[in-house]
A and B are shown apart, each in its own frame.
Chain A
């Protein structure tokens, strides 16, 4: 177990290093000059050169990367070009809302996906099953800004149950979490359904039924627990999927998280913020995968980590 853990952590670090190289190169290869953006329309070539050297952008790429990496491991992500303030605290201040939103979205997708999947599996081939699967198809394929704006228009503007965007209370959380979670709910319902169908075919289910156990117990206790396993692994992966989803959803709902920060940084070519958020997102994705792997044996003792 410990050896496995050490190996996985090392591999994760290697992945993060790779990510840092790729993001660094990509952001410096885009055909746009941050110095021109900073220096403005009245600047002279001399001023642009000075700013370029202040930012260290006149040095060779590998030197810039080495400097970037050595600062990064000390937790220093540099200074934002547009905001002139440190990037690390900026991202840190935006993380809690994003984490809260992700947590809400995970709850939403599980609350939607799991019951729908179980119900569809027990009604296999019947109308309820087909309806659930059609709906899941719809939620997976609809772009999130459409879902978000529709929910806002109906439930916040017309009905008035929820505030029109913003941050601060549970009522603010529900619509954005639902927007982010609906697509995931669709996936989960499909996964849960096929996993459940698979499990319900097993011999031990037949045994349980033969013992005269009530059907709801068969489904929920014996079936559900075993069918849940592949789902757990998904939750870890979801964190990565959400990282891109939050950019859209946070913008629709005025949610002050890292997604919103990223969107604004991209517009103003604020490279330090773009790189910082990418790095943080990569850390989350790697951690999510690691967590999924480590949790699996806790739920299913048949899995051994090696």
Chain B
């Protein structure tokens, strides 16, 4: 009887915590080993900005908001509730009661204030500080003129009031990305330069140790505010692991997840092995691979040439080239993103039509360059594109360079065309705005910016800002519809040729359980460690 009661209570807690219903709640316990090729650079949530540390940080820290596991749906996290003023300029968050950092101290509204000020302060050198430009007082802190944000008030320990200078519908998403995660001031100051190596958060897992070049170990946070999760007692991330060797180790049962994914050379073999049938989770991610065309310089200053490029590229062939690890892209937004327009089929593969357009543009022979990152499969993809372009009379020389050099060439505006693979935009948060301002809007079309097409359409920028001013929940459909229209218009102007949307394939051991969506979580990339469980303790 007692046993039933306990499991019933656990199941209830679980239903409250997790949106998808398990037939029975997984039991807590067990451990998992995840491998990565590269060492993590840092676990400072305000600094870490690569897909490896992104989700580890998510397991150690929390923000005011978060997403339901395996989905892109927002929900309050450290905040118990929030209200938005009618003009959309004031957000009032109420923190949950009894929140604790891993060091045992209670979380207060002052910690939220400190954390936001820290990420914006230029001394932190955060790659995400620029996201918070709508908070009142941002310019003073970012400009080094103040250390306190005018737009944050903390009337009591559990209340945070944020004042914005403009209504912004993405604001709640910004309260859910790593850059706004809450950190304890005393630990940051005590650790100094080593803070990123000894993180203390509020999250589902507690940091134990970091042996440089070897592993990071996390253990279950017994005081985590969501009862019943996480399921695993311990997670070890092992570094310096060649993915090819990691696959062998997984087959031997030494490893539970190959964090880097299945190496391209072994992909077909791993996929075809019947033993792996239930071990590979396939999911969509918020990713588009695209070719940028610099609209400020001939020949790509002519929209017809850019449309012709869109029609000349055989996207299906490129997808086959990557072992069908994606789907051909029709537009800039990936299918999993709100605002994606399923009715917009984009530019169909039509070399004859492309030739016609080029002739109309008076540019029947074009000689140009396409930049690509020099890591497989990107040079091969660039070659495929090169061949397709040659078939319509465009000679594109491939410039295969290191990632940083391609980014630099794109930022300066030297590159006529860039294949985005290996550097591409995986959304930081699931909102169409995140796919616009930095990479398609005027804000990114400056020197050093990430809008490599240098496409700056003031009209669309104005429409985008107007759409983002629709902050009310009942305005969301109108806002998304407007974004859909904006991206349709971007596609007509064709600063990019969208090529494919990558799918994610996560290879995990038989002892790990959990919904496949957790292993390809669109937010916790690559895996939502908080909700996967060990079958050997069930």
Q: Which residues on the B side are within 8 Å of A165 (C-beta)? A: 240-242, 245, 249
The answer to whether A50 touches B144, judged by C-beta atoms less than 8 angstroms apart, is yes
B66 interface hit (Cβ, 8 Å): no
Interface stretch among A85-93, A191-199, A295-303? A85-93
Residue of B nearest to A266 (CB): B402
Q: Which residues on the A side are within 8 Å of B41 (C-beta)? A: 80, 82-83, 268
A38-B125, A254-B242 known; A94 vs B408 contact (CB < 8 Å)? no
Contact of A51 among B122, B214, B447 (CB under 8 A): B122
The answer to whether B143 touches A152, judged by C-beta atoms less than 8 angstroms apart, is no
Please measure, in the bound complex, the distance between the C-alpha atom of A42 and the C-alpha atom of B134, giving whole angstroms: 13
B201 interface hit (Cβ, 8 Å): no
Please measure, in the bound complex, the distance between the C-alpha atom of A257 and the C-alpha atom of B240, giving whole angstroms: 10
Interface stretch among A28-36, A60-68, A178-186? A28-36
Please measure, in the bound complex, the distance between the C-alpha atom of A34 and the C-alpha atom of B411, giving whole angstroms: 12
Q: Which residues on the A side are within 8 Å of B39 (C-beta)? A: 260-261, 264
Contact of B245 among A30, A38, A41, A252 (CB under 8 A): A252
With an 8 Å Cβ cutoff, the count of chain A residues facing the other chain is 57
A17 interface hit (Cβ, 8 Å): no
B403 interface hit (Cβ, 8 Å): yes
A125 interface hit (Cβ, 8 Å): no
Please measure, in the bound complex, the distance between the C-alpha atom of A167 and the C-alpha atom of B241, giving whole angstroms: 11
A37-B404, A84-B47, A85-B193 known; A149 vs B244 contact (CB < 8 Å)? yes
Query: Which residues of B from 227 to 278 have beta carbons under 8 Å from A?
Result: 238-242, 244-245, 248-249, 251-252, 254
B59 interface hit (Cβ, 8 Å): no
The answer to whether A36 touches B248, judged by C-beta atoms less than 8 angstroms apart, is no
Residue of B nearest to A93 (CB): B212
Residue of B nearest to A79 (CB): B193
The answer to whether B450 touches A41, judged by C-beta atoms less than 8 angstroms apart, is yes
Q: Which residues on the B side are within 8 Å of A94 (C-beta)? A: 212-213
With an 8 Å Cβ cutoff, the count of chain B residues facing the other chain is 58
Please measure, in the bound complex, the distance between the C-alpha atom of A166 and the C-alpha atom of B249, giving whole angstroms: 11
A44 interface hit (Cβ, 8 Å): yes
Q: Which residues on the A side are within 8 Å of B408 (C-beta)? A: 31-33, 36
A251 interface hit (Cβ, 8 Å): yes
Please measure, in the bound complex, the distance between the C-alpha atom of A50 and the C-alpha atom of B129, giving whole angstroms: 13
A256 interface hit (Cβ, 8 Å): yes
Q: Which residues on the A side are within 8 Å of B384 (C-beta)? A: none
The answer to whether A152 touches B127, judged by C-beta atoms less than 8 angstroms apart, is no
The answer to whether B402 touches A157, judged by C-beta atoms less than 8 angstroms apart, is no
A36-B448, A54-B125 known; A261 vs B213 contact (CB < 8 Å)? yes
Q: Which residues on the B side are within 8 Å of A44 (C-beta)? A: 130, 133, 142, 443
B266 → chain A closest CB, angstroms: 11
A99 → chain B closest CB, angstroms: 14
A190 → chain B closest CB, angstroms: 30
Q: Which residues on the A side are within 8 Å of B244 (C-beta)? A: 149
Please measure, in the bound complex, the distance between the C-alpha atom of A83 and the C-alpha atom of B197, giving whole angstroms: 9
Q: Which residues on the A side are within 8 Å of B242 (C-beta)? A: 149, 165, 251-254
The answer to whether B127 touches A39, judged by C-beta atoms less than 8 angstroms apart, is yes
The answer to whether A36 touches B403, judged by C-beta atoms less than 8 angstroms apart, is no
The answer to whether B42 touches A83, judged by C-beta atoms less than 8 angstroms apart, is yes
Contact of B405 among A32, A38, A149, A261 (CB under 8 A): A32
Contact of A255 among B126, B240, B444 (CB under 8 A): B240
A164 interface hit (Cβ, 8 Å): yes
The answer to whether A84 touches B240, judged by C-beta atoms less than 8 angstroms apart, is no
Query: Which residues of A from 261 to 282 have beta carbons under 8 Å from B?
Result: 261, 264, 266-269
Q: Which of A33, A48, A251, A252 has the most CB of B within 10 A?
A: A33
Please measure, in the bound complex, the distance between the C-alpha atom of A85 and the C-alpha atom of B245, giving whole angstroms: 29
B128 interface hit (Cβ, 8 Å): yes
Please measure, in the bound complex, the distance between the C-alpha atom of A295 and the C-alpha atom of B218, giving whole angstroms: 49
The answer to whether A32 touches B142, judged by C-beta atoms less than 8 angstroms apart, is no
A4 interface hit (Cβ, 8 Å): no
The answer to whether B130 touches A43, judged by C-beta atoms less than 8 angstroms apart, is yes
Please measure, in the bound complex, the distance between the C-alpha atom of A166 and the C-alpha atom of B49, giving whole angstroms: 26
Q: List 26 A-B contacts (CB under 8 A).
A: A30-B405, A31-B409, A33-B408, A34-B404, A36-B408, A36-B411, A37-B407, A39-B127, A39-B448, A40-B127, A43-B127, A44-B443, A45-B446, A46-B142, A80-B41, A83-B41, A84-B44, A84-B125, A93-B213, A149-B242, A153-B248, A156-B248, A251-B242, A253-B245, A260-B213, A261-B39
| Chain A residues engaging chain B, CB cutoff 8 angstroms | 30-48, 50-51, 54, 79-80, 82-86, 90, 93-94, 97, 149, 152-153, 156-157, 164-167, 250-257, 260-261, 264, 266-269
| Chain B residues engaging chain A, CB cutoff 8 angstroms | 37-39, 41-42, 44, 47, 49, 122-123, 125-131, 133, 142-144, 193-194, 196-197, 211-214, 238-242, 244-245, 248-249, 251-252, 254, 402-405, 407-409, 411, 425, 438-439, 443-444, 446-448, 450
